[in-house]
Amino acid sequence: MRTQANAKKDYAPRITPEIVPKAPWRVAEVRPLPEFRLWVRFNDGLVGTVNMAQMIHSSAAGGFVVLRDKELFNQVALEYGAVMWPGGVDLAPDAMHDAISRDGEWVVET
């Protein structure tokens, strides 16, 4: 008869491997910067910034208006190589990659 649980022994095996997007335009790393900007690194090694200030403060910000909250903005994360925030707000990684490869920065406008 078992008297104690053994957390190291009682685990479910991983059935499917973690999905790691390999497309060159997928984001590999993201960090929040001051003034509603992001630092991003893509799978192909391209590095640049995303400036969201103009769009976030626009009257046409739509669902992005929630990112005016700096605490929420700083909760940026990656999901399958796309930049995401809690609540489902996200950015298109392919458009981001195109702009950064051309200009070194993507200024997101409405």
pLDDT tens, residue by residue, 31-55: 999 999 999 999 999 999 999 999 9
Confidence of residue 95 (pLDDT cuts 50, 70, 90): very high
Dump pLDDT digits (tens) for 60-85. Answer: 999 999 999 999 999 999 998 999 99
The correct answer on CATH 3.30.2020 for the domain covering 27-107 is: yes
Domain locations along the chain? 27-107
β 47-51/37-42 pair status: antiparallel
Compute CA distances 59 → 34, 41, 68, 88, whole Å. 21, 30, 12, 20
Question: Global pTM?
Answer: 0.79
